[in-house]
Amino acid sequence: MKEADCKRILVTGGAGFLGSHLCEYLLRQGHDVLCVDNFYTGSKHNISNLLAHPRFELMRHDVTFPLYVEVDEIYNLACPASPVHYQNDPVQTTKTSVHGAINMLGLAKRVKAKILQASTSEVYGDPQVHPQTEQYWGHVNPIGIRSCYDEGKRCAETLFMDYRRQHNLQVKIARIFNTYGPRMHPNDGRVVSNFIMQALSNEPLTIYGDGSQTRSFCYVDDLIAAFDKLMNSPGDFCGPVNLGNPTEHTMLELAERVIALSNSRSSIVFKPLPSDDPVRRKPDISLARSMLEWEPGVSLDEGLRRTIDYFKGMRAGLDDEDVDVPADFASSMQEQGLHGGSPTPA
């Protein structure tokens, strides 16, 4: 890349699951990357291989406070994304989505930067329309145990669109459906990491409900490529746009695949479905196909193999101190089955 084409890019939540992959991707493109994270769910381990890179800079900062830097583009990925983490401190989760959006939008306005918001399929709630299109307004409980995340992300989308209308800001909104891959936290309570960790320990895989509820799983590399395409899409296109894999799988099918691919001796057990957990989740990605010329390319089996290999490699050195979630809280959340949220960054 020519020096003139090098951009200064801020990634909030850059030490998280998605953020760390995005930082790597942008560095490979030849950009300068400023990674901002307060390490609530992010980990320095995720970016340890980047610290010596001459174009990479790390800053510990909470986006609920203003940030004053000079950048050309902003990827706003900061927010705990799994129920275990965002329900541990629901008030702070809402603040991160809302105050964080206000602060990053204010920064973008000041430095005239383009800004991308990592939103989520959770804005659709427990959908009454299937598959979900961007025109669907959702079916969300505003006072439920998941509301801090669902409504926080919905409010962030509102702020992004209002800054676009009122201040002519260049904004992009990505609605991320279930994404998985290396660097997911092993105890985040989400279904892929839950199943893999249980399978590798030959423990029973826990399915909540009868296993017929569905999700659509997108491998992390596919999603990061979509971020890049969205950020560099025409200026008059802001989204929201669904980013995810449109192939639908039941929880029972996923469990059986994980057991087979990990050569596990695990059985499957069933427990009651938790409150507000969506029964069906599948994106309509027609808009992404037409406007971004994007669709996922990594199959579920291939993505699971890569993810299983990652968890195999890190199990012996598992370090839970990187996430400030009490062990008893995480355990109780998993017992409740709160594992169906779609991953978003941080």
42 and 346 Cβ atoms separated by less than 8 Å: yes
Q: Which of 149, 163, 180, 219 is catalytic?
A: 149
CA distance readout (Å), 10 to 68, 248, 298, 346: 11, 33, 27, 14
Q: Please indicate whether residue 149 is annotated as part of the active site.
A: yes
Which SS3 state, helix, strand or coil, does residue 84 take?
helix
Q: How far apart are CA 206 and CA 267, in angstroms?
A: 9
Closest CA to 116 of 82, 164, 187, 45: 164
The tally of CA atoms less than 13 A away on the side-chain side of residue 231 is 23
Going by C-beta distance under 8 Å and a sequence separation of 6 or more, which residues neighbour residue 270? 206, 207, 208, 209, 210, 211
Task: Name the token pair of 199.
Answer: 């399978």
- Report d(CA 345, CA 78) in Å as an integer: 6
Sheet (strand 73-76) strand order? 56-60, 32-37, 8-12, 73-76, 114-120, 171-176, 241-243
Q: Which SS3 state, helix, strand or coil, does residue 257 take? A: helix
* Alpha-carbon separation of residue 118 from 177, 200, 310 (angstroms): 11, 31, 24
Q: Could you list the active site residues? A: 149
